Amino acid sequence: DARVTQTPRHKVTEMGQEVTMRCQPILGHNTVFWYRQTMMQGLELLAYFRNRAPLDDSGMPKDRFSAEMPDATLATLKIQPSEPRDSAVYFCASTGTRDYEQYFGPGTRLTVT
């Protein structure tokens, strides 16, 4: 049963600290998305990659957020420095070349105090 995995599932950190979230897409999927979900803003696209190349990161605050795909099995989202307003659930999703369905991971619930 192929699934997207994300670590950590929960993260509590203090303002100013660096946060790194990791995602393992479904094997063979070539497109990876990072979303952020809050009660106020709903589900927002932060960035996405195809074949490990960034296609669109217009939804991401560039001064503190960065997203990378070091290899086809790992995507990372970093926040440095973190702020309380970054508290949210961060979802990773993946899809294949001919797929229209996005498969979401379980999410990382981030709390910045």
**Binding segment toward other proteins, per CB under 8 A, in 19-27, 37-45, 63-71, 79-87:** 37-45
Q: Give the gyration radius of the chain's Cα atoms.
A: 13
Site string for other proteins, 53-92 (x = CB under 8 A): --xx----------------------------------x-
DSSP code, position 16: T
**Sequence-ordered strand ranges (E) for 1-113:** 5-7, 10-13, 19-24, 31-38, 42-50, 53-56, 65-71, 74-79, 88-95, 103-104, 108-112
1 binds other proteins (CB under 8 A): no
Residue 31, number of CB atoms within 10 A of its CB: 17
List 13, 22, 50, 64, residue binding other proteins (CB under 8 A): 50
**Under rule CB under 8 A, how many of the chain's residues touch other proteins?**
20
100 binds other proteins (CB under 8 A): yes
59: amino acid identity, one letter: G
9 binds other proteins (CB under 8 A): no
List 42, 53, 63, 71, residue binding other proteins (CB under 8 A): 42
Residue 85, number of CB atoms within 10 A of its CB: 10
The residues binding other proteins (CB under 8 A) are 31, 33, 42-45, 48, 50, 55-56, 91, 95, 100-107
